[in-house]
Amino acid sequence: MFGGFSDSRTQERGPSHDAVSTNREPALFANLAGVLEAERPYWFYWVPVFVGVGSLIYFTLDFEPDGLSVAVVFLTALGLRSVLGSAGTFASLLTGILLCASLGFLAGKIRTEIVAAPVLQERLRDARVEGFVELVEARDGGGVRVTVQPTRIAGLREEQLPSLVRVVFSAKGGRRLAIPLSGDHIAFTAVLSPPPRAAAPGGFDFSRYAFFRGIGAVGYATSVAVDVPMPGGPELFNSLSHMIGRLRQRIGDRVTAALPGQTGAIAKALINGDRSGISEETNEAYRASGLFHILSISGLHMAIMGGSIFFALRFMFALSPWLALQFPIKKWAAVGAIAGSLGYLTISGGSFATERSFIMIVVFFASILVDRPAIALRNVAIAALVILLVFPESVIDPGFQMSFAAVVGLVASYEFVRRRHVLSGDVGASIWGRGLMFAGAIVGSTLVASLAVAPIGIFHFHQTQHFAVLANLAAVPICNLIVMPAALATLVLMPFGGEWLALAVMGPGLDAMAAVARWVAGLSGAVSYVGAIPGLSLLLMAGGGLWLCLWRQRWRLLGLLAVAVGILVAPQIGAPDLLIGDGGQLVMVRDANGQLTGPSRRQSNFILARWLERDGDKREPREVGITEPFHCDRTGCVAQVKGQVLAFSKRATSLRDDCARADIVVVAETVTQPCKAKLVVDRARLRRLGTHAIEIAPDGSLRIETVAEHQGYRPWTRPSD
């Protein structure tokens, strides 16, 4: 798409390649054209960046573009590239950028059309559901979460059935649950709802997340699940996906039988990708210590697993001098590593993050097959491009952003070190020297990765860890040298009933990692909580980091300027004075100390927790109580907020008085009578627009943001939005 990037020998041509066209350009741009031409071998690195920009534009629109318009834009960009691609440096670059961005936009539209499926529009109570079990996940504190492919839902026609329904079965009263297996055809009654929207304007949009995973309804079961006859005959039961699902469940059961408790839950997560048994306490310890990346099967685990297979196969082939001398055993080992990584992907459940990691590892091993360096930014760019074309929604996924930010930073640092010959062969000559290099590599890689992912972590999760280097220095060697090799050995020995041997080694390693996580998480100042930052800040920091890593000339240092500007912009987002959500049941205002306060309700704790996170407030929902400026009685609450009177009515009987004296009225019922207040937020309005975030200006005017404004009208939003 960008011309002249395919062969590194283009470096030798330098600026002379386009000298004629450069002379025709204004003198002001002559030096810039020369720098760009010197960078031409690295233009390809920017292809996935601008494909991602196009996808990002598509997913942030507040309306759904029609397919014909999207196709016309792409074909126009393709035509301009064909006509003007060789007209000069700037023409080549600009038409390449336009083509890449339009391709990313087109990929987003195509992906949306492919995954489009019915989404439940109204809440259903005690609906009978029949369907095939796709996935079973244990829940902390008892119960299971089951993903079902429905074959029938009472009250819905066949064309209205969602592709998948996710339902929670709880173990109330200590009763034992009959846990279904993947492929079972079950029936139960449940309360079903559409996938929830974001808890706050600009927050994480679960409805969009669910749409691209085929989940059209969520809820909780009101009865036990029972087996029912399978429509279509038993051959459907033997489908490949259901067989794999059952295999994963059996693997998980055997792992937890040998390693009970949280040790077994983490072992199961690393072997079959099921993290559902890990408690929130354990998750929080790993998150606060900067080790949370270890709990999910990602690039680190896939690289260790694939690398272990590669080196084991190469070692075995090398035991035969005849094989080693006559055949390309390194390439054989690479093929075996790809096959083994595919098996690991299958066993691990093929989650989104694991699929990305598999694509990356395949690209790296494929480079060995074509005699190219395995660790190179070109390979990272190819992997990112493949993922963005196949799963364009990845561009808005925190896992994708953090994964590639870390990989780009690490590989760019590695290439910089290699180019500058920073490491001398004498340094690692002794055992002590090699140990020093190993420790230095962990510290350096952790620093680079932590800096690369910090802005993304702050933007999405509103916190940052300060002792991640210390935690990774202690835990990563354990993971690399003990835990993951033992996980591979577990899978190898399991068919013979010998998995307990490998798990006996893996268990102490996991316990050691958990001890590191708890110790680091318990250190004073381990975590800082940060309020929401604007998207512009993240774009500037991410763009600056890419500029620094992807270019080679000294102008790459301008990327540091973009990062600095992004940091300066970060505190510029305003904090709302008033938040209203959960159908009018939850109202919070900002007190004199700048903290949210209000009459919280237990059923609203999840939403309140998201509000506190976006506020950079480390309090738990249960710690939020009614303080000034609220004054409450049995009928509701009244508060003064920046000179405006807020009335929160619990009962419709008090509505008349509230409308007479309040500027803002919130009521958990639908209001049908006239009201003189500036703003009336009732159940119907909240259902239509979602959570309201309100800022009150000094003159008393209201600036209102709603979830629906941020969502717009897209295939994953309700028609009423």
Identify residue 441 by its one-letter amino acid code. Answer: A
CB-based burial, 573-608: b 16+ in 10 Å, e otherwise: eeebbbbbbbebbbbbbbbeeeebbbbbeeebbebb
Q: Residue 219 forms beta bridges with which residues?
A: 167, 192
**Domain at 124-238: CATH architecture:** Beta Barrel (2.40)
* Token duo for residue 386: 């493949």
Query: In the prediction, which pLDDT does 599 show?
Result: 80
CB neighbours of 480 closer than 8 A, spacing ≥ 6? 304
Question: How many other C-beta atoms can be found within 10 angstroms of the C-beta atom of residue 690?
Answer: 26
User: What are the residues whose beta carbons fall under 8 Å from the beta carbon of 349, sequence distance 6 or more?
Assistant: 135, 248, 272, 273, 274
Among candidates 535, 493, 489, 512, which has minimal Cα distance to 203? 535
* Over residues 641-652, mean pLDDT: 84
More confident residue, 68 or 433: 68
pLDDT value, residue 275: 85
Res. 15: pLDDT tops 50: no
Mean pLDDT, rounded, for 34-49:
90
CB-based contact 586:567 (threshold 8 Å): no
Question: Looking at the predicted structure, is the pLDDT value of residue 1 above 60?
Answer: yes
Average pLDDT over the chain reads 86
Three-state secondary structure call for residue 207: helix
Instruction: Provide the token pair at 578.
Output: 């008033």
Q: How confident is the model over 626-647, as a mean pLDDT?
A: 83
Terminal-residue alpha carbon distance, the chain: 39
Least reliable range by pLDDT among 126-140, 428-442, 544-558: 428-442
pLDDT of residue 141: 67
- What pLDDT does residue 421 have? 58
Q: Is the pLDDT of residue 181 over 80?
A: yes
Are the C-beta atoms of residues 153 and 161 closer than 8 Å to each other?
A: yes
Each residue of 59-79: pLDDT tens digit? 999 999 999 999 999 999 999
pLDDT above 80 for 49: yes
Q: Between vectors from CA 411 to CA 409 and to CA 416, what angle results, nearest 5°?
A: 95
Ranges 85-94, 324-333, 440-449, most confident: 324-333
- In the three-class reduction of DSSP (H, G, I as helix; E, B as strand; rest coil), residue 540 is classed as helix
Cα–Cα dist 389/718, whole Å: 27
Q: Which of 176-185, 346-355, 540-549 has the lowest mean pLDDT?
A: 346-355
Q: Name the strand (E) or helix (H) holding 124.
A: strand 124-138
Q: Nearest-CA neighbor of 630 among 577, 579, 683, 588?
A: 588
pLDDT value, residue 654: 73
Helix crossing, 499-521 with 468-478: angle to 10°?
Answer: 170
Residue 522 has what pLDDT?
Answer: 93
DSSP 173-199: GGPPP----TT-EEEEEEEEEPPP--S
How far is residue 257's CA from residue 629's CA, in Å, rounded to a whole number? 54
Of 17-26, 107-116, 146-155, where does mean pLDDT reach its minimum? 17-26
88: pLDDT strictly greater than 80? no
Compute the distance between CA of residue 165 and CA of residue 149 in angstroms, rounded to an integer: 6
CB atoms within 10 A of CB 66: 10
Strand partners, 189: 128
Residue 682 pLDDT > 60: yes
Mean pLDDT of 611-617: 91
pLDDT band at 234 (very low <50, low <70, confident <90, very high): very low
DSSP strand E in 473-601: where?
A: 527-529, 578-581, 586-590, 596-597
Instruction: Report the pLDDT value the prediction gives residue 173, as an integer from 0 to 100.
Output: 53
- 88, two tokens: 């000069």
pLDDT at 12 over 60: no
Tell me what percent of the residues of the chain surpass a pLDDT of 90.
46
Give the confidence band of 285 by pLDDT, cuts at 50, 70, 90.
very high
- Confidence at residue 61, expressed as pLDDT on a 0 to 100 scale: 93
Q: What is the pLDDT of residue 13?
A: 43
The confidence band for 22, taking pLDDT boundaries of 50, 70 and 90, is very low
Q: In whole angstroms, what is the distance from residue 580 CA to residue 593 CA?
A: 19
Residue appearing with tokens 């949370």: 292
Please check the confidence at residue 219 and state whether its pLDDT lies above 50: yes
- Look at 79 and 674; give whichever has higher pLDDT: 79
For residues 249 and 182, is the Cβ–Cβ distance under 8 A? yes
% of the chain at pLDDT higher than 70: 89
**Residues counted in the chain:** 721
Least confident of 79-83, 313-317, 358-362, 632-636: 632-636
Positive or negative, the CA dihedral 570, 573, 575, 578 is negative
User: What CA dihedral angle connects 592, 593, 595 and 596, to 10 degrees?
Assistant: -20
345 contact partners, CB below 8 Å, separation of at least 6: 302, 354, 355, 358
Residue 118 has pLDDT above 80, yes or no: yes
551 with 39: CB under 8 angstroms? Answer: yes
Nearest alpha carbon to residue 68 among 114, 115, 111, 106: 106
Side chain identity, residue 140: D
Is the confidence at residue 427, as pLDDT, over 60?
A: no
Q: For residues 95 and 48, is the Cβ–Cβ distance under 8 A?
A: no
Burial of residue 717 (CB within 10 Å: 0-12, 13-18, 19+) is: buried
User: Quick one: average pLDDT of 528-534?
Assistant: 90
Q: What is the pLDDT of residues 126-148, one digit of tens each?
A: 999 999 998 888 877 678 899 99
At 6 the pLDDT is 45
Q: What is the pLDDT of residue 632?
A: 81
Higher-confidence residue of 153 and 2: namely 153
The answer to whether residue 413 scores a pLDDT higher than 70 is: yes
pLDDT digits (tens, 9 = 90+) for 478-511: 998 899 999 989 999 999 999 999 999 999 999 9
**Residue-by-residue DSSP string for 69-112:** HHHHHHHHHHHHHHHHTTS-HHHHHHHHHHHHHHHHHHHHHHHH
| Spatial separation of the C-alpha atoms in residues 500 and 513, rounded to whole Å | 20
How many Å apart are CA 262 and CA 514, to the nearest integer? 9
Here the tokens at position 164 are 């998948």
Q: 330 burial class (0-12, 13-18, 19+ CB within 10 angstroms)?
A: middle
SS3 239: coil
3-state secondary structure of 712: coil
Better pLDDT: 635 or 697: 697
Angle, helix 240-258 to helix 329-347, in steps of 10 degrees: 90
| Tens digit of each residue's pLDDT (9 = 90 or more) over 334-366 | 999 999 999 888 888 766 667 777 888 888 899
Residues with Cβ within 8 Å of residue 304, at least 6 apart in sequence: 479, 480, 484, 485
